[in-house]
Structure 1
Amino acid sequence: MQSLSGSGLPNSHQALLRNRNLLSGRVALLGVASAHLLSELPFSGLALSEHAGVFHALERHENWQACFGYDAPALADSSYDSVVVFLPKARAELEMRLALARSLAAENARMILIGEKKEGIAGAIKQLKAVAPQASKIDSARHCQVWRAEAIDPVPGFRVQDWLGWNRIECSGIAIDVAGLPGIFSQNGLDDGTRMLLETLAEQPVCGDRLLDFACGAGVIGAWIQAHQSAEGKPVASVDGVDVQSQAVICARETYRRNRAEGTIFASDGLSGIDGLWSGIISNPPFHTGVKTDTSMTEQFLQDVKRHLQPGGELRLVANSFLPYEALIKRYIGRVERLREDKRFTVYRAFRGQ
């Protein structure tokens, strides 16, 4: 066991460095949260992240094969001797990640599971032992546990499509089918914030023939807008979508396909990775990183949004009422009004000046 290094890394990554002697042969890392980890490892191999920003940072490490999410073309069956699984936030996603790990594993491969106590590593052990009964804890460090399973049973043929589920949602008389994957926001139904946002869009539509849904998730907003416009006999706008998470991008594309919606779904960490002008931008942005409130993504979005809005274009945004977005919208875009609010949510809109 080696001493801790990489002190600027997430705890789980530091715990891996402490146990880097466990890695041998061809190495696969699943769920990388910081690309700086690769600089600390004297190996090459595969590094997967579901976060678009982390993925692009991984790409800069030429000795590693960077992968974005569970449908990356480079995920080759039976290719790796050491497979590291970092614990995801959602328990259901761990089951999918373990299935991917088993498909990547070569004969007699070693699997390593690492996660923090506060993230639920204790409960995750049951899931690990369901597929690797021989797994045992080998270290505790940086509030993490490190578990190892030798000679795991490979199960090739992982397909993310096998994990897709469908849910039918309805709002203001319009129903659409929505794709879901483990780990995606609001997988099991229409959340109350998005419902309030859609109701305002039914009453006071955002005008334009090309719109953008920022932090689009499973593509609910874009598919619903187009279905509503079609039902009303109005011209149907193209609604592009952007999200940072690979599962969201996969699901949004599937939702669009099922509902015959038009628009491009981009994978990007904020708006910095995309070009274009839209006549309207709509969003129900996230405000959590894990269990912590984190509004930094939305603040950056509000700083960037003006250069992606056409003159006179509208921003429509729903957020928890306690979040300080009204002042930020006013600062970066201009005069802002509240279209609807209750104790939990507020729908804001603002227009870019000419």
Structure 2
Amino acid sequence: MQSITGSGLPNSHQALLKNQHLLSGRLALLGVASSHLLPELSVSGLAMSEHAGVFRALEHHESWQACFGYDDRALADNSYDSVVVFLPKARAELEMRLALARSLAVDNARLILVGEKKEGIAGAIKQLKATAPQASKVDSARHCQVWCAEAIESAPGFRVQDWLGWSRIECSGVSIDVAGLPGIFSQDGLDNGTRMLLETLAEQPVRADRLLDFACGSGIIGAWIQACQAARETPVASIDGVDVQSQAVICARETYQSNSATGTIFASDGLAGIDGLWPAIISNPPFHTGVKTDTSMTEQFLQDVKRHLQPGGELRLVANSFLPYEALIKRHVGRVERLREDGRFTVYRAFRGQ
């Protein structure tokens, strides 16, 4: 077995390498977090990630079949002898990932679940045993547990559409239907930050015929703006969306279709992977909060925004109020103002200089 010392891989990936003697025949990996895992393995097969950036990196490994998320056409039923499931962050997503694993597996395949203790692997075992009662723990390594189930029963016919849930959200008198999937941000309703952003868009609309919604999630912002414009009998803008997560891209497309919204939904890790200029960009960007604030992600986003925003174009976004956005927006985009704030969130509006 190849050494994993100093590999820099996530703990779960290192734990799998320590146990790769369990891998045999045709192999499928579900939920890969780092493409650097693949050359460390002595076998090859299918590698799925729901993260667009990781997926692009997986594509560079020619001996592997790279897949993006749960609706990739390369996910073929009854094709794999060993299926590895890496524990997702959302417990609800694990059930969906295990269902996909069973559809990919041949009869009597081996199913392996790997996850970190801090991510809740202990609590996930009930879900695993509901799928494979014969599962047992085979190792504890790298702060992870490795569980294995022999001779699992295949269950072909996985369709991500079967896992879609729908909710109706309302803001400023305008309602839309929104698609949701396990693991997606704000699946259970309209979060307070997005609500504040939409309210400012109702009061002070963006004047543009084309917009880009960065980190579009389930497509709420774009679909709601177009529904609001239609209700007010004003010109309806085309609104493109971009998100890094497979579930978000799937849901945004479903939300758009359900509400007859127009625009293209892109999968990209940030803005660097897309081309084009827009007269306006809107966003509720997913930056982490914490005691120590790292603004490097914010700065990268704002630098990229400038490259995709037309001169004189508007950037409107909502963010946690404690983050130092105002100075950064002014530095990278142009003059900035606060449209609304409530102590938790602030909505900023900026215009790119000529």
TM-score (norm 2): 0.97
Residue ranges of structure 2 left out of the alignment (5+ in a row): none
Amino acid at match of 2:73: P
Distance (Å, rounded) in 2 between the aligned partners of 1:340 and 1:137: 52
1:189 to 2:164 alignment: no
Please give the per-residue CA displacement for 1:43-67, whole angstroms capped at 9, x wherever unaligned.
1100000000000000000000000
Distance of aligned partners of 1:319 and 1:277 in 2 relative to their CA distance in 1, 3 Å threshold = same
1:198 to 2:192 alignment: no
Q: Paired residue for 1:9? A: 9
Q: Give the deviation of 1:7 after TM superposition.
A: 2.6
Distance (Å, rounded) in 2 between the aligned partners of 1:265 and 1:166: 19
Q: Give the deviation of 1:179 after TM superposition.
A: 0.2
Q: Give the deviation of 1:295 after TM superposition.
A: 5.5
Distance (Å, rounded) in 2 between the aligned partners of 1:93 and 1:253: 19
Distance (Å, rounded) in 2 between the aligned partners of 1:206 and 1:72: 35
Q: Paired residue for 1:99? A: 99
Q: Give the deviation of 1:29 after TM superposition.
A: 0.3
Q: Paired residue for 1:49? A: 49
Q: Paired residue for 2:176? A: 176
Distance of aligned partners of 1:3 and 1:275 in 2 relative to their CA distance in 1, 3 Å threshold = closer
1:60 to 2:57 alignment: no
Q: Paired residue for 1:349? A: 349
Please give the per-residue CA displacement for 1:11-59, whole angstroms capped at 9, x wherever unaligned.
0000000101110000000000000000101211000000000000000
Amino acid at match of 2:317: L
**Identity level (%):** 85
After the TM superposition, which residues 99-118 of structure 1 pair with which residues of structure 2 at under 5 Å, given as runs? Answer: 99-118=99-118
- 55-64 vs 328-337, greater mean Cα deviation: 328-337
Amino acid at match of 1:55: F
Q: Paired residue for 2:126? A: 126
Q: Paired residue for 2:136? A: 136
Q: Paired residue for 1:28? A: 28
Q: Paired residue for 1:147? A: 147
Distance (Å, rounded) in 2 between the aligned partners of 1:38 and 1:159: 26
Distance of aligned partners of 1:3 and 1:278 in 2 relative to their CA distance in 1, 3 Å threshold = closer
Amino acid at match of 2:152: I
Q: Give the deviation of 1:116 after TM superposition.
A: 0.6
- 134-143 vs 64-73, greater mean Cα deviation: 134-143
1:224 to 2:194 alignment: no
Distance of aligned partners of 1:218 and 1:64 in 2 relative to their CA distance in 1, 3 Å threshold = same
CA contact (8 A) 1:287 1:294 kept: no
CA contact (8 A) 2:77 2:156 kept: yes
CA contact (8 A) 2:45 2:65 kept: yes
Q: Give the deviation of 1:3 after TM superposition.
A: 6.3
Please give the per-residue CA displacement for 1:220-273, whole angstroms capped at 9, x wherever unaligned.
000000000011110000000000000000000000000000000000011111
CA contact (8 A) 1:86 1:115 kept: yes
Please give the per-residue CA displacement for 1:279-312, whole angstroms capped at 9, x wherever unaligned.
110000112399x977654432111101111111
Distance (Å, rounded) in 2 between the aligned partners of 1:323 and 1:145: 36
Residue ranges of structure 1 left out of the alignment (5+ in a row): none
Distance of aligned partners of 1:48 and 1:238 in 2 relative to their CA distance in 1, 3 Å threshold = same
Distance (Å, rounded) in 1 between the aligned partners of 2:115 and 2:13: 9
Q: Paired residue for 1:86? A: 86
Distance (Å, rounded) in 2 between the aligned partners of 1:312 and 1:97: 45
Distance (Å, rounded) in 1 between the aligned partners of 2:224 and 2:294: 28
- 294-303 vs 146-155, greater mean Cα deviation: 294-303
Distance (Å, rounded) in 2 between the aligned partners of 1:230 and 1:275: 28
- 90-99 vs 336-345, greater mean Cα deviation: 336-345
Amino acid at match of 1:261: A
Distance of aligned partners of 1:6 and 1:34 in 2 relative to their CA distance in 1, 3 Å threshold = farther
Please give the per-residue CA displacement for 1:64-97, whole angstroms capped at 9, x wherever unaligned.
0000000000000010011000000000000000
Distance (Å, rounded) in 1 between the aligned partners of 2:115 and 2:15: 9
Please give the per-residue CA displacement for 1:133-183, whole angstroms capped at 9, x wherever unaligned.
111111111111100000011100000000001000000000000000000
Distance of aligned partners of 1:257 and 1:293 in 2 relative to their CA distance in 1, 3 Å threshold = farther
Distance (Å, rounded) in 2 between the aligned partners of 1:344 and 1:306: 26
1:335 to 2:332 alignment: no
Residue aligned with 2:71, SS: coil
CA contact (8 A) 2:209 2:238 kept: yes
Distance (Å, rounded) in 2 between the aligned partners of 1:295 and 1:129: 42
TM-score (norm 1): 0.97
Distance (Å, rounded) in 2 between the aligned partners of 1:318 and 1:302: 13
Q: Give the deviation of 1:2 after TM superposition.
A: 8.1
Distance (Å, rounded) in 2 between the aligned partners of 1:93 and 1:69: 12
Residue aligned with 1:37, SS: helix
Distance (Å, rounded) in 2 between the aligned partners of 1:120 and 1:339: 40
